[in-house]
Amino acid sequence: MPERISQTILLCEDDEHERLVRAYLKACGHNTKEPYLRPRNASRAVNGGNVGWVIREFPNELNACRKRHANTLLIVVVDADDFTTGERREQLPCDPPLSSGDSVVILIPKRHVETWIRSATGGKVNEVDDYKRPKPTNSQIIDEAARTIRGWSRDNPTPGPTCVTSLRDALPEWRRVG
């Protein structure tokens, strides 16, 4: 991934995805205002079918990032839902396949991003149950989760005992963000 990123494109399903990534970027000292961060949020583009929208938009955003002269980071957040994280990742079409030269970070929470938020804030959760209700909408909770994930994603960290498997597996991707 290039050293200096001039713009970040965030392709995500909903506001919780956007808020967590935005809080993480802030915790890393990145500018989260447009034009430096350009969110593409499915919940603002379509009414339902957010996962499908992200999957359909991914190749378009990937190809656009590959063609840009400026260094652009593409962050994709899509819930695994009832799939494994590997199965969901395979649903993201990319031709040609991703290479080490692509500035792409793919974050796939198993079951939902709310699982990661609760996990990072000390909640005892699993990756089977649905934690969407009540929504963790408090910005302090989102900020705390982002700071915790940032701490866990640093070199040689020891994630806390509440860190779920999909989040632990995604820590190298988070590290690439900053």
**Domain with 11 in it: what CATH number?**
3.40.50
**pLDDT for 2 beyond 70:** no
Q: Which secondary-structure segment (H or E) carries 76?
A: strand 72-77
Domain containing 41 equals 7-177
Q: For residue 68, tell me if it sits in a domain.
A: yes
Q: Which amino acid is at 139?
A: S
Higher pLDDT: 69 or 101? It is 101
**pLDDT for 91 beyond 70:** yes
pLDDT bin (cut points 50, 70, 90) of residue 35 is confident
Q: For residue 2, tell me if it sits in a domain.
A: no
pLDDT bin (cut points 50, 70, 90) of residue 86 is very high
| pTM, 2 dp | 0.93
Per-residue model confidence (pLDDT) at position 136:
65
**pLDDT for 162 beyond 90:** yes
- Kindly tell me the sign of the dihedral angle through the C-alpha atoms of 51, 113, 172, 6: positive
Per-residue model confidence (pLDDT) at position 48:
87
- Taking only the tens place, the pLDDT of each residue in 18-33 is 999 999 999 999 989 9
Per-residue model confidence (pLDDT) at position 32:
92
Nearest in space to 105 (alpha carbons), one of 29, 23, 2:
2
Q: For residue 91, tell me if it sits in a domain.
A: yes
Domains contained in the chain, number: 1
The answer for residues whose C-beta is within 8 angstroms of residue 153's C-beta and 6 or more apart is: 171, 172, 174, 175
Question: Average pLDDT in the 152-162 region?
Answer: 89
Per-residue model confidence (pLDDT) at position 3:
62
Dist. CA 131–CA 127, nearest whole Å:
9
Q: For residue 101, tell me if it sits in a domain.
A: yes
Nearest in space to 160 (alpha carbons), one of 129, 116, 128:
116
Q: For residue 154, tell me if it sits in a domain.
A: yes
Question: Average pLDDT in the 129-151 region?
Answer: 89
Question: Average pLDDT in the 111-129 region?
Answer: 95
Are residues 25 and 52 in contact, defined by beta-carbon separation less than 8 angstroms? no
Q: For residue 160, tell me if it sits in a domain.
A: yes
Question: What is the DSSP code (8-state) at residue 98?
Answer: P
